[in-house]
Structure 1
Amino acid sequence: MTTPRPAHDLRVVDLGTGMAAALLSTLLADGGAVVHRVAPPGDEVFDEIYPAHRGWRSVTVPAEAGDLDELLERADVCLVGGEDHPAVATRRDAQALAARHPGLVVVHLTGYVDGYAPEAPAVDLLVQARTGLAAEQYSDRPMYFAVPFPTYGQAVLGALGAWAALLDRVDTGRGQVVTASLQQGAAMFMMPFWMRAERPDDEFHKVTPKDVQHLTFQCADGTYVQFVMGVPAAVAKLYRILGIDEPVDPEDRGIPRIGASPDTYFGNRPLIAPAVARMNRDDILAAAAEVGLPAAPVLELGEFWDDEQLAANRLLVDRAGATGVGNVIGLSGTAPVPEAGPHERTGGAPLAGITVLDFGSYVAGPFASRLLADLGASVVKVESLTGDPNRGLQRHFLAAHVGKRALAVDAKSPAGAEVLRRLLSGADVVMHNFRPKAAERLGVDPTSVRAVKPDAVTLQSLAFGPSGPRADAPGFDMVIQALIGLLRRAGGPAAPPLWIRTPYLDYAGGALGAVAVLMSLYERRTAGRVGDRWLSLLNAGMFLLSDLRRAADGTMRGAPPLDAARQGVHPGERFYRTGDGWIAVAARTEEAANAMWRVLLPEEEPPPRADWDDAVAARFDERASRWRSEELLAALAGAGVWAELCRTDGLAELLDNPASTAAHVLVDRADDRYGRLTGCLGPLVNFSRTEIPVHDRPGAPGFGAHTGQILAELGYTEAEVEELLRDGVVR
């Protein structure tokens, strides 16, 4: 039986390739592991594609292929697979590795789940096309997501699976294969859209449609500003500071208008845009602050890197001669675990027997606990008597809350405080997304929790961080996107900033938060101490910019930028319109580029790939339009060029392939409100040995749906529960 080691003594062997593997390796190293890197032949090509690649790999210990067997004998985790490139040998037999080393956790990074598209290359652009992700922003054309959701999602899910399998190994002494795919990485960000219900209602259909533009505007000085609605009298405040003399409902908060045109969904853009264009950004921001309207400057990539909040969060580190994003999971403190009995695992899942209290609302915090519920934890959603405001956005609520139970309590009342105390006394994990001072008043800050339950681990999901100049500032997904350059990255350097219609900071933050909890639970089991970890939307956003590097002279370099049409990053890696649809092409080498050229422009000799520019892309566009998609794909495949059809409906693609269900990318949930829910609502990683329950699992809980049941479990009699209900302490 394998002896478990604490995180600071874990040994990882990294055989992976490309960006996701490097990010996963870095996440494990930042968690305390020692990572030995055996680079496959040709791996240096990724140094050219990603300027941060050398920095990511600098956290590892270089090792020779001849030492591999010895390293694996001593290792806890091995990373295999990753991003495909014709110049690099990517694929290894994960199952064979696990069979030779029974105590080893093998994390296998693939393009798709088992059986879905086994021969398809694991390349982010091509996965965006095949999964339908590229069709999720606009209704008439695909768009390349410059923040590569499949890659970032895969890296975090790989970390989630690795820590869960390590926890399982503490109990069983056995390793296994954990599979995380680019396909699952994409699904993590698209859950609200890749979902259907047996009994949908108006609330279920309340989801941001394609083609919608957010309230991002160009100012008179050429800069951009981002507004956020939702506060009291938001529209009146906006019109007042911009000098718009139009009648307005004084109660209008600027809530999205279902059924409105793309230009008026979030606000009357045709009316607002010219008013903004007459003012300088600094004047607009000062006026917005004075009336209490959330607004932020849309900054360029790297412009925020000197902000004091990044220094307070210790987010930037020097690696391999340049500055980049460091550890994004914060640790505010640790405490020794008092003597306790062994963990009582109540089922086959890694977190069976673990109780999680989630006081969070909206998406980021609750999504973390939903991922823990997927791994077998018993999660109780604790709400105030006014409820989670996110219940009004049902798709996002469902994505973040399936598999939980719910209790509503007035924790500020004496009787409610006693309910809270009893809840805390049985918790293994306590998490929330309150601001630090609010958490202290409620009694769910780490110190208060530890006074009741000394061996509980805690997670705070914050906007900016636990300290620093912005610690008490309200956090809005789009504000942080604007500040750190994500709106700029999504739009590309040659086009206006762009807001993506899924709250991806929330989902990234939630997934990273779940990883943080698993790390703490592992430390509790193996090192005899509990951790108080935190994750902020700012940190999550910076993680999604991990490919950026700032040189000593201040210049910023990152992954290749978007072209002006937002179709790709190079004429050889781009979407092209055909006579009957769109395809994606990834000609990643000189040989593949030459082959692509000869298919589309056979009458000419191809110039070097490095010399291809927008004019070449335009010529390819024109030639591709003469082909039917099926014929062009066949011609490219015959020439050895990687290409994919751009699918237009991500949910339909999943429904059409049985492998989606077999691998639990697509699952059914029994929901009290909507009947059968079908979507990406199950575990987003796969385990070769550990049984993860996916059948007969509940949907999202109704408000206070389990209050009586949970109170009974806490020792309250029926009469006492009735009294609490009658007195308005619980609902």
Structure 2
Amino acid sequence: MSGQDRMGAEHPFGGHSPGGHGDGNPGGGGAGPAASGGGLPGHGLRVVDLGAGMAAALVSTLLADAGAVVHRVAPSGDEVFDEVYPAHRGWRSVTVPADPADLDVLLAQADVCLVGGEDHPAVTPRHDAADLADRYPRLVVAHLTGYAAGHAPGAPAVDLLVQARTGMVAEHFSDRPLYFAVPFPTYGQAMLAALGVWTALLERAGSGRGQVVGASLQQGAALFMTPFWMRAERPDAEFGKVTPKDVKHLIFQCADGGYVQFVMGVPSAVAKLYRILGIDVPVDPADRGIPRVGASPDTYFGDRPLIAAHVAKLDRAGILAAAEVEGLPAAPVLDLGEFLDDEQLAANGLLVDRGGATGPGNVIGFLGSARAPVETDGPAGTGPTGGGPPLAGVTVLDFGSYVAGPFASRLLADLGASVLKVESLGGDPNRGLQRHFLAAHVGKRALAVDVKTPEGAEVLRRLLARADVVMHNLRPKAAERMGVSPEAVRAVRPDAVTLQAFAFGPTGPRADAPGFDMVIQALLGLERRAGGPDGPPLWIRTPYLDYVSGALGAVAVLMALYGRRTAGRAGDMWVSLLNAGMFLLSDLLREADGTLRGAPPLDGALQGVHPGERLYRTADGWIAIAARTEEAALAMWRVMLPGEPPLPRAAWDGAVAARFDEVCAGRTAAALLTALAEVGVWAEECRTDGLAELERVERAGPERDPAVACLLADRADDRYGRLTGCLGPLVSFSRTETPADDLPGGPGHGAHTRQVLAELGYTDAEAEELLRAGVVR
């Protein structure tokens, strides 16, 4: 289906959307929406994109893939991003180019406007978000910045520099910074901006008013660092169970030169691995290979030296075949692009046309390609009507566990939704990893129930009858057995929105395969990318695909709630770890001849992608430099190598970087930063503690600034006392409230069971009988 067919209507000033999809599927993966574009949640929305750089482009693609028409009025100099990002023109192909002279008319008709974005010296200053919101009262204005208001005023919005200033670069190795090849702040900002846009649109459906939504690169970084940028008033041993820096995952080189990734945690995992590799060492048959707190980085996930010696004797294909027989999760560590022909990507509809090349798209799925979404009686359902948190009145049931599923509902809870975590009597297995559990569950209530009993099934029925949203990351057959499949939910609550989080997807050859964050990283080449072209593959210590999947899931729910409220349509949505991984490869495009183009690879030191955008060690620390133009590069050269004839920026190579390394090693960070600032070169000190940096900003102000509060939420937790850190709303709104102080912490197992039963109409005596019978906890 072409972009014209999908949109189904002409745009103002002539023409149709060029954003067609190469696989013939309109914006929803292999299990897509109804055959017409009208089934997409964004159908009928008009967006004006005035933003610059990668994050703004990604927000545009997310909105266009959801059915919106996006008009593009590019800022002066915007074409420079075609050089920075080879995929830039592909991203922008989903938009309709518009004449700047028509901007006022476009904005008067628009629902959403994107402003701000990535800084580049060649791009001129852009529009004022507050002014646009004042001039067009119904307009939702997404303002993309480098930092939250009140933080680092005037600091450039460049991903590398934000990684440095926030301390993100110090979050993997203990003795040196790491430049993250996947620009996490940028991807986080794009997802938060989309989250904020759909939230504001949903709120506008009740209030009739637009507002400014703020999302920064700094907040995008915080989204990924939540389990690490967290403090507890009363920490205990469980709170300390967080993956340490310098850790090495179970990635090993085989006899044939290929790498393999193992995943532990399943029953008898250690015994299974040792049988596969022929390791004749006695082990506890029950040992699941749970990470060993306090162990060295090389043995945290297992005895790496022992395992490596045996893997090196075997070919990868044989190891993987044996792992499949044993039931131990394992995957080949592939290069970028190797997985692009896998049938699962086609089943998910993930490869789409991006300006004549093929690239990732449709990362949020819509179930029900063979039928239209269920029609309700009209624009209905609880939701915001002006005032208070934007999702006040929305009730969410979360049957998920671990992170990828529950993180979505935690983001909704931050925005005011009432979220109930429904657990088995055994509890969420992730409760043993408290920081990740808290990151995914603060702000929720908890009910423990055995839904396999008749009495438990009745509790479930009553819960479903009250729910606006039902979500889980169960396998489809398990969801059917529990009674929380989309069909089962519909039988009780026809207008409920559902969200399913899969490993690979709802259909396709891998649909039933178990999936783990590191398995998807290995398959998609993300571990190869992180380790650089010459180094071994690298697994980053945060399970970032889990958090991306959760964030995309929250966006999916808001899209569906908007469709329900404005068009009376209920929707079944889905996300997956595979989709999340592909989203993080949005800068990778494949030409018709099969060649790949994308962001340049990391250098061998894992410090940058070019000598002009790189981390440098000084005599007393580290700095990050972003000399993004020829003029800036010339100025940087004169600071580093005064008197020497400069080379053009395009000719800078590893030898030039080595020369700069020598110069930096002999000068202090402060001296270099001063010298670079004097000639207009952007640079930042590399901070070593992200949470401490946030707290420093808070202490610098005379009172608690709302912008600081959005990054340093204050929560009351029964177990840990006060919790502080990135545990509150990471997107800001100019008009609606998103409190960040005195919020609830993480729920104990079954902590609200009695309260919820009373709300469902059970008497005290009936609730007591359910407790006595072991139906609830």
Which position in structure 2 is the counterpart of 1:410? 450
Moved more, 72-81 or 83-92: 83-92
Q: Partners of 1:403 and 1:487 in 2: how far apart?
A: 33
Which position in structure 2 is the counterpart of 1:678? 724
Which position in structure 2 is the counterpart of 1:570? 610
For the pair 1:714 / 2:714, whether they are aligned, the reply is no
Q: Partners of 1:172 and 1:201 in 2: how far apart?
A: 45
Does the 8 Å CA contact 2:520/2:578 hold for their aligned counterparts?
yes
Cα offset for 1:230? 1.0
Q: Which amino acid aligns with 2:57?
A: A
Does the 8 Å CA contact 2:202/2:384 hold for their aligned counterparts?
no
Spell out the pairing of 1:213-224 with structure 2 (5 A cutoff): 213-224=248-259
Q: Which amino acid aligns with 2:694?
A: L
Does the 8 Å CA contact 2:532/2:606 hold for their aligned counterparts?
yes
Cα offset for 1:490? 1.1
Match of 2:735 among 689, 706, 710: 689
Cα offset for 1:342? 6.5
Q: Partners of 2:450 and 2:381 in 1: how far apart?
A: 34
Q: Partners of 1:392 and 1:112 in 2: how far apart?
A: 33
Which position in structure 2 is the counterpart of 1:395? 435
For the pair 1:618 / 2:658, whether they are aligned, the reply is yes
Q: Which amino acid aligns with 1:654?
A: L
Cα offset for 1:377? 0.5
Does the 8 Å CA contact 2:254/2:314 hold for their aligned counterparts?
yes
For the pair 1:158 / 2:193, whether they are aligned, the reply is yes
For the pair 1:259 / 2:294, whether they are aligned, the reply is yes
Q: Which amino acid aligns with 1:662?
A: P
Spell out the pairing of 1:35-46 with structure 2 (5 A cutoff): 35-46=70-81
Cα offset for 1:549? 0.4
Which position in structure 2 is the counterpart of 1:290? 325
Match of 1:233 among 255, 259, 268: 268
Q: Partners of 2:305 and 2:465 in 1: how far apart?
A: 55
Does the 8 Å CA contact 1:82/1:90 hold for their aligned counterparts?
no
For the pair 1:638 / 2:682, whether they are aligned, the reply is no
RMSD value, Cα: 1.2
SS at match of 2:236: coil
Cα offset for 1:291? 1.5
Q: Deviations over 1:449-478 (max 9, x none)?
A: 011001100000111101111111111110
Which position in structure 1 is the counterpart of 2:421? 381
Match of 1:649 among 685, 689, 696: 689
Q: Partners of 1:117 and 1:345 in 2: how far apart?
A: 33
Q: Partners of 2:566 and 2:379 in 1: how far apart?
A: 13
Does the 8 Å CA contact 1:6/1:526 hold for their aligned counterparts?
no
For the pair 1:337 / 2:376, whether they are aligned, the reply is yes
For the pair 1:186 / 2:221, whether they are aligned, the reply is yes
Q: Deviations over 1:321-374 (max 9, x none)?
A: 111001110000311013586646486111100100000000011000000001
For the pair 1:169 / 2:213, whether they are aligned, the reply is no
Cα offset for 1:245? 2.3
Mark the CA change 1:345 to 1:325 in structure 2 (over 3 Å): closer, same or farther.
closer
Q: Partners of 1:68 and 1:252 in 2: how far apart?
A: 64
Which position in structure 1 is the counterpart of 2:714? 668
Match of 2:58 among 19, 23, 27: 23
Q: Partners of 1:618 and 1:709 in 2: how far apart?
A: 64
Cα offset for 1:672? 0.5
Q: Partners of 2:233 and 2:658 in 1: how far apart?
A: 45
Q: Partners of 2:210 and 2:105 in 1: how far apart?
A: 17
Cα offset for 1:614? 0.7
SS at match of 2:195: helix
Q: Which amino acid aligns with 2:237?
A: D
Cα offset for 1:241? 1.6
Q: Partners of 1:90 and 1:438 in 2: how far apart?
A: 53
Moved more, 6-15 or 361-370: 6-15
Q: Partners of 1:214 and 1:192 in 2: how far apart?
A: 18
Match of 1:137 among 162, 167, 172: 172
Match of 1:103 among 138, 149, 152: 138
Does the 8 Å CA contact 1:49/1:560 hold for their aligned counterparts?
no
SS at match of 1:563: coil
Mark the CA change 1:248 to 1:717 in structure 2 (over 3 Å): closer, same or farther.
same
Q: Which amino acid aligns with 1:264?
A: T
Unaligned runs of 5+ in 2: 1-39
Cα offset for 1:6? 6.7
Mark the CA change 1:590 to 1:426 in structure 2 (over 3 Å): closer, same or farther.
same
Cα offset for 1:563? 0.5
Does the 8 Å CA contact 1:80/1:92 hold for their aligned counterparts?
yes
Q: Partners of 2:280 and 2:88 in 1: how far apart?
A: 53
Which position in structure 1 is the counterpart of 2:15? none
SS at match of 1:599: helix
Does the 8 Å CA contact 2:150/2:705 hold for their aligned counterparts?
no
Q: Partners of 2:384 and 2:174 in 1: how far apart?
A: 48
Does the 8 Å CA contact 1:83/1:90 hold for their aligned counterparts?
no
Does the 8 Å CA contact 2:380/2:565 hold for their aligned counterparts?
no
Q: Which amino acid aligns with 2:93?
A: S
Q: Which amino acid aligns with 1:554?
A: G
Moved more, 277-286 or 206-215: 277-286
Spell out the pairing of 1:443-454 with structure 2 (5 A cutoff): 443-454=483-494
Q: Which amino acid aligns with 1:263?
A: D
Does the 8 Å CA contact 1:505/1:537 hold for their aligned counterparts?
yes
Match of 2:570 among 530, 533, 545: 530
Q: Which amino acid aligns with 1:715?
A: G
For the pair 1:364 / 2:410, whether they are aligned, the reply is no
SS at match of 1:651: helix
For the pair 1:727 / 2:767, whether they are aligned, the reply is no
Which position in structure 1 is the counterpart of 2:115? 80
Q: Partners of 1:155 and 1:643 in 2: how far apart?
A: 23
Q: Partners of 2:116 and 2:69 in 1: how far apart?
A: 19
Does the 8 Å CA contact 1:336/1:528 hold for their aligned counterparts?
yes
SS at match of 1:300: coil
Does the 8 Å CA contact 2:535/2:604 hold for their aligned counterparts?
yes
Q: Which amino acid aligns with 1:122?
A: A
Does the 8 Å CA contact 2:159/2:183 hold for their aligned counterparts?
yes
Cα offset for 1:221? 1.0
Q: Deviations over 1:288-317 (max 9, x none)?
A: 112121110001111111111111000001
Cα offset for 1:185? 0.3
SS at match of 1:357: strand
Q: Partners of 1:568 and 1:676 in 2: how far apart?
A: 38
Q: Deviations over 1:197-235 (max 9, x none)?
A: 000000000000000000001111111000011112211
Q: Which amino acid aligns with 2:268?
A: A
Q: Partners of 1:340 and 1:61 in 2: how far apart?
A: 30
TM-score normalised per structure 1: 0.98
Q: Which amino acid aligns with 1:291?
A: E
Does the 8 Å CA contact 1:331/1:534 hold for their aligned counterparts?
yes
Does the 8 Å CA contact 2:164/2:685 hold for their aligned counterparts?
yes
Q: Partners of 2:125 and 2:458 in 1: how far apart?
A: 56
Q: Deviations over 1:231-285 (max 9, x none)?
A: 1221122122212222322222111111111111111111111211111100111
Which position in structure 2 is the counterpart of 1:304? 339
SS at match of 1:159: helix
Q: Partners of 1:312 and 1:439 in 2: how far apart?
A: 21
Q: Partners of 2:773 and 2:284 in 1: how far apart?
A: 37
Q: Partners of 1:681 and 1:603 in 2: how far apart?
A: 51
Q: Deviations over 1:699-731 (max 9, x none)?
A: 010000000000000000000000000000000
Cα offset for 1:496? 1.1
Which position in structure 2 is the counterpart of 1:499? 539
Does the 8 Å CA contact 2:380/2:564 hold for their aligned counterparts?
no
